[in-house]
Amino acid sequence: MEVCYQLPVLPLDRPVPKHVLSRRGAISFSSSSSLFGAPDPRQLSQRRGAISYDSSDQTALYIRMLGDVRVRSRVGFETERRGSHPYLSIDFRILHSQPESAGPVSARKIRRLLSFQRYLHSSRVCRGVTPQNPLHFLDHDYTGQAKCMLEKVGSWNFDIFIFDRLTNGNSLINLTFHLFNHYGLIELFQLDMVKLRRFLVMVQEDYHRQNPYHNAVHAADVTQAMYCYLQEPKLSKSLTSCDILLGLLAAATHDLDHPGVNQPFLIKTNHYLAALYQNTSVLENHHWRSAVGLLRESRLFSHLPAEDGLNMERQLGSLILATDISRQNEYLSKFREHLDKEDLLLGNAGHRHFILQMALKCADICNPCRPWELSKQWSEKVTEEFFHQGDIEKKHKLEVSPLCDSQTNSVGKIQIDFMTYVVEPLFAEWARFSDTRLSQTMLGYLGLNKAGWSGMLQEQAGAAEETDLGAPSPTPSSAEETDSKVLPQGSKES
């Protein structure tokens, strides 16, 4: 086991400021809360993209982060209204009216309260309610087909949506476990299979099923893309097992407990986490801390020397923080500079770590580089999530965030800009670094998909013009036909 860390120390264990602990508000997001005005607590579990303010949850997370047993015995679960945005207070109050969050909680129970989603899950189990979507138990036919798919897990055409259905919604667990096995990481790092399985179940459960885009399927998709990049000759020749372990872990956890809204939304609603992370990489910091919490709770690395475990957590943070899209230019300029100077030495642990950061960034935004059938689904999902945020902002008379207004944006418009200004520049540099068939394939799909969306927009504009001139307006079915006609060609090729 090579120790491969030469990185700046990140402030993982910085003390939580006093004012933060004393204000005891929220820490974790929840898809099941009622931030956006559910009048009936029974509807909570159906709400999408909301943020929870459960003080017990917050306490659990802090305990998890601090690793301080003394704190655990002192903290209570009294409700405390925070002086932030009015909706947040409403949400907080409703959450505390739930019987599960009332009364004293044992230390054992606290350990289970890692996220509000799992809290609900475990309380259902305690009450004898059978989970609707049992993990692990699959129809044999589906298991067989899922296994079959895993034989081609390195294919760029891998259809994660089908794989998710075949695994009964457990794509992230199954895919990540398979890849750990494939690389022999379980033996190499002497991982306990039960702990690993438990860790992966917790990771998957902490993603919000209700988010149209930022859910466990996206995490599984990013993990699959990451695997494709790890297999690229330059990386596979130089990466250590430790790099591979971290790369896969970071991909699987990089959006953990994502609330389905973006950072500006959290800032303008005075979200507690925005204050905690000083409005900087708020979500990414939260994903990282959540991942660390699950690692510690599952004790997956508890057999490793403490220093190695801490180093793993720091590196995981450095990888996850690199996915902050607002820091794209910073990473891209550094990448470009290295490529211009041709000074990347993959024998150097710091350089390998940088390449892992770039690979994870690519994996995170590779949707437009996938075949059209897959790419289009992702585009629609992400737009649905944006527009949902915009609807909430309108409903509560907040300024509508860019890209979130369904009146002034469309899937195609958003995609074309995203491809032009974010995806193309990144993948062009990646192709310079790793000039392979995969890189060319990705750039090829990117061009085709962009042309596909442009074609659709032009047709829509043409149709609108005709309507203005008095021609009959297209029926919904003819508009759909238009959609399928402008599919990029050659999108079957791998």
Given the rule CB under 5 A, which residues bind Zn ion?
Answer: 255, 364
Q: What residues are designated binding site for AMP?
A: 214-218, 255, 364, 415
Least separation in angstroms between residue 308's CB and Zn ion is 27
Task: Report the SS3 class of residue 183.
Answer: coil
Least separation in angstroms between residue 365's CB and Zn ion is 8
| 476 phi, psi to nearest 5 deg | -55, -35
As a whole number of angstroms, the distance between CA 56 and CA 128 comes to 22
**Nearer to Zn ion (CB atom), residue 163 or residue 301:** 163
As a whole number of angstroms, the distance between CA 319 and CA 301 comes to 18
Least separation in angstroms between residue 453's CB and Zn ion is 21
Number of Cβ within a 10 Å radius of residue 17: 11
Least separation in angstroms between residue 336's CB and Zn ion is 23
| 280 phi, psi to nearest 5 deg | -120, 125
Residue from 214, 271, 286, 353 carrying the catalytic annotation: 214
As a whole number of angstroms, the distance between CA 113 and CA 56 comes to 7
Helix and strand element counts for the chain (H, E): 25, 0
Token pair of 223 as six digits:
């993990």
- For tokens 């997001």, name the residue: 29
Token pair of 55 as six digits:
């003080």
Active-site annotation holds for 214: yes
Report the residue number whose CB is nearest to Zn ion.
255
Size (the chain), residues:
494
Least separation in angstroms between residue 258's CB and Zn ion is 8
Q: What is the DSSP string of 373-437?
A: HHHHHHHHHHHHHHHHHHHHHHHTTPPPPTT--TTT--HHHHHHHHIIIIIHHHHHHHHHHS-SH
Buried b (16+ CB within 10 A) or exposed e, 204-235: bbbbbbbbbbbbbbbbbbbbbbbbbbbebeeb
**Nearer to Zn ion (CB atom), residue 173 or residue 252:** 252
Report the alpha-carbon angle 157-159-164, nearest 5: 160
Q: What residues are designated binding site for Zn(2+)?
A: 218, 254-255, 364
Q: Which residues contact 321 (CB under 8 A, 6 or more apart)?
A: 10, 281, 284, 285, 288, 327
Token pair of 45 as six digits:
């579990």
Task: Report the SS3 class of residue 52.
Answer: coil
**Nearer to Zn ion (CB atom), residue 243 or residue 255:** 255
**Nearer to Zn ion (CB atom), residue 57 or residue 364:** 364
**Nearer to Zn ion (CB atom), residue 287 or residue 314:** 287
Least separation in angstroms between residue 364's CB and Zn ion is 4
**Nearer to Zn ion (CB atom), residue 160 or residue 191:** 160
**Nearer to Zn ion (CB atom), residue 142 or residue 421:** 421
As a whole number of angstroms, the distance between CA 84 and CA 70 comes to 29
Number of Cβ within a 10 Å radius of residue 339: 14
H-run or E-run covering 147: helix 140-150
Least separation in angstroms between residue 414's CB and Zn ion is 16
Known catalytic residues?
214
